[in-house]
Amino acid sequence: MKEKAKRLAQKIQCYDKIQIVSHIDADGITSASIAHKALERADKDIDVKFIKQLDENEIDTLKDRENGLIWFTDLGSGQLKGLEDIDCIITDHHEPQGKTGPPSLAERENILSYGNSDILELNPHRYGLDGAKELSGSGTTYLVAKEMDKSNKDLSKLAVIGAVGDLQAAENNELIGKNREILKEGIETGVVDKKIETTLYGIESRPLPKLLEYASDPVLPGLTGEESACTNFLVENDIPLKEGETWRRWYDLSKEEKRSILSGLAKRMLDRGYPVEYAESLVGEVYEFPDEERGTMLHEAKEFSTLLNSCGRYEKGDIGLKVCLGDREKNLKKARSLLKGHQKVLVDSLQYVENIGVEEREHLQFFHGKDEIPDTVVGTVAGMLLSSGDVERRLPIIAFAKSEERDGVKVSSRGTKRLVKKGLDLSSIMSKCSKKVGGEGGGHDIAAGALIPDGKEEEFLGEVEDMIESQLQG
């Protein structure tokens, strides 16, 4: 991978003008930010474009651009054959076209050839690494930036944010694989701190009662959504809620106070029959950034990545990019406003699903958001439902929503770690089943998406259910 990253870096140096094309989520925004910063330091002419999906229409548009190199970040590997007429490089971590796993000696020495084009692509799947857990799109992009100039090691901070935003620390409550090597470089460079802390979202920005009230991953039984119950829980555990007139936050607590809260939460979960791993997930590694202000969303990776995701969901990836690059004065305020709006959309969307219900079948469960749930958040809603305990966790969940930009239906699918261990691979399911109904899709084993023609939902569900059954019984 190091040798391939070096070859991408060498190709970049041959161009004065480079367009970055990246995905819209936190991993995509941090990927674009890493590429942008590295190119800026190399004195290149840079343009950035954020897209939801690299489909035929987008590819055709890119073919008509002016001369220069295109750097695809956090996408591109699933569309290699369509990119054969584009002068490009790819740093991605999604399942690629063609054979995956450790490359042959010939493949190590040669670049990927498609049609009349030679495409330089760096993707962990080509080297036997799991792109859903061991290396994110931002991490792959960072490997190239580091080969451009060793001083770019400070960009490891953005790679950590991207990996956390892509939920790559979720399974083990810590970054693993190649991500962990990047984390180590960030710590050595002084741009990242690693701590063992609660993994509840909002330890920087939320007052203590709100930290518990808004908890969703994991859901806190009897506390999530119950403001007065959260206040009572803290009082019963002798936790002062304020210092003077200021609400206390998690980082204000002593070790003893933190231990008291976490013990109480774990006991609640176990007493109500929650699996042990739910209680264990309350604690894990937390990544903080010494150069950011304490008590702000930018000081901790999970909150920073959530802020970026809210930008991408509403097609404002450029705002997230500017925040990552340090242009904060106006853009941080805009990003926070987008997050506030995003949180309201999620609440409204969850309420809509509660009203219509989630339909269960033998091997899956699903709901259709129609045009009531934006296609940019339907996957997030599906994930929140699956982790909430309000739906059946032994079944993958499939979510539909009317596509806002294209004529069709957006599909998002979510599984659990337990289902993946049993053989579930949603990336393969979304890719193969969408093609059978005239669509396209892909992603990761635990989370994937697709776009299918309107009216094909029932046929698609039939194909998906058959494939889930085959995977889990195989």
CATH number at residue 111: 3.90.1640.30
* End residue of a domain, out of 100, 128, 152: 152
Q: What pLDDT was estimated at residue 104?
A: 53
Domain span at residue 428 reads 357-473
Q: What pLDDT was estimated at residue 114?
A: 41
Q: What pLDDT was estimated at residue 124?
A: 95
pTM of the model: 0.83
Q: What pLDDT was estimated at residue 115?
A: 41
Q: What pLDDT was estimated at residue 461?
A: 97
* End residue of a domain, out of 120, 152, 184: 152
Q: Is residue 329 part of a domain?
A: no
Domain count, the chain: 2
**CATH code, 438:** 3.10.310.40
Q: What pLDDT was estimated at residue 129?
A: 93
Q: What pLDDT was estimated at residue 116?
A: 38
The C-alpha atoms of residue 138 and residue 73 are separated, in whole angstroms, by 8
Q: Is residue 281 part of a domain?
A: no
Q: What parts of the chain have a pLDDT lower than 50?
A: 106, 108-117
Q: Is residue 173 part of a domain?
A: no
Q: Is residue 299 part of a domain?
A: no
Q: Is residue 425 part of a domain?
A: yes
